[in-house]
Amino acid sequence: MANGVTLESLRQSLIRQEDTIIFSLIERARFPSNSPTYNESYVSTPTFSGSLVHSVVKETEALQAKAGRYENPEEHPFFPDNLPPSVVPPYNFTEVLHPPAALININKDIWDMYFKKLLQLFAARGDDGNYASTVASDLVCLQALSRRIHYGKLVAEVKFRESPAEYEPAIRAKDRDALMKLLTFESVEEAVKKRVAKKAMVFGQEVTLNNDDKKEKYKVDPSVVSRLYGDWIMPLTKLVQVEYLLRRLD
Ligand SMILES: C=C(O[C@@H]1C=C(C(=O)O)C=C[C@H]1O)C(=O)O
C-alpha cells in the first residue's frame, strides 16, 4: 500500500488511541457533571456568548488553528466557520486521502453524542465549581473521539485500495447499505469492545501497595466504555467510512 499505510497499521493506531480516549474519560470523571458549564444563560458578556463550553471550545480552536492544528488532515474542528489561518510554516503531511475527504466533518454528531448521551453515563451528578477545568477536560475527550472517528477516512481509503473492484459498483450505485456491509468486520468490533472494557479495568483501577485491598471500583465504568465503542464510536467511524467511499470516485 502506498505511503506504508496498511489496514493493520491503522488498526494498531486505533488500538493505541483507545488508551488516549479511556484516559481522557478518566480525567473528565474527576469532576462532577458541573451543569453550569453547559448552561446558555450562566455567563453573558459580549465576549462570551452561549454556554461556557461553547465559548471556550470555539476560542481554543481558534488559537489552535493559528498554531496549525487543522493543517493536519487528521484533525477536525468542532466550530469550522471563520477559523483564523495557520501562522506556522507549513509541514508537508503525507497525502493519503482522496481530496473530497476534506469536506467530511461529523463533529456535530460527536458533540451531540458526547453532551447528550455519554457524559451523563460517567460523570457523577454534582457541582464543584471547576467549570473551566471541566471544559478543558471535555475538549480533550472530544478531540480524542473526533480524531478516532475521522480515522475512518484512512481506514476506508485502505480498504478501497485493497479491493477497488468490490467497492466500485456499490459506490457508483450510491448503495450505502452495501458499502456498510463491505467495510464491516464483526469479529474486529467484538474484540474492540472486549479490549476497551479490559483497558478501562486496568487503567481505572485504584492502585495500592496493599495487594489484598482490592476493591472492584473503577474510575470509569468499563461497561460504559464498551457501550461508548459499540453504540457510538464504531458506528460513527463506519459512517465516516461510508461518507468517504461515496466520494471516492468523484
Ligand atoms: C475500523 C474498521 O472498520 C470497521 C469499524 C471498526 C471500528 O470502528 O473499530 C471495526 C471494524 C470494522 O467493522 C476496521 O475494519 O478496522
Closest Cα to residue 136, out of 235, 211, 241, 61? 61
| pTM exceeds 0.90 | yes
Q: Would you state the pLDDT for residue 161?
A: 97
Cβ of 237 less than 6 Å from ligand 1: yes
Q: How far is CA 9 from CA 79, 127, 155, in A?
A: 30, 42, 10
Cβ of 240 less than 6 Å from ligand 1: no
Cβ of 227 less than 6 Å from ligand 1: no
| CA 47 to ligand 1 centroid distance, Å | 42
Q: What are phi and psi of 241, to 5 degrees?
A: -60, -45
* Share in percent of the chain as helix, strand, coil (round to 5): 65, 0, 35
Residue among 5, 237, 241 whose CB has most ligand 1 atoms within 8 A, to mutate: 237
Closest Cα to residue 230, out of 189, 200, 199? 189
Q: Would you state the pLDDT for residue 246?
A: 98
Task: List the chain pLDDT tens, one digit each, 250 residues.
Answer: 557 899 999 999 999 999 999 999 999 999 999 999 999 988 877 777 789 999 999 999 999 999 999 999 999 999 999 999 999 999 999 899 999 999 999 999 999 999 999 999 999 999 999 999 999 999 999 999 999 999 999 999 999 999 999 999 999 999 999 999 999 999 999 999 999 999 999 999 999 898 765 667 899 999 999 999 999 999 999 999 999 999 999 9
What is the value of ipTM here, to two decimals?
Answer: 0.98
Contact 220, 80 (CB under 8 A): no
Nearest-angstrom CA–CA distance, 28 and 49: 24
| CA 127 to ligand 1 centroid distance, Å | 37
Residues 6+ apart with CB under 8 A from 233: 21, 145, 148, 149
Contact 7, 103 (CB under 8 A): no
In this structure, the residue with its CA closest to atom 2 of ligand 1 is: 155
| CA 154 to ligand 1 centroid distance, Å | 11
Give the DSSP letter of residue 230.
I
C-alpha cell, 214: 482490592
Residue among 189, 193, 194, 231 whose CB has most ligand 1 atoms within 8 A, to mutate: 189
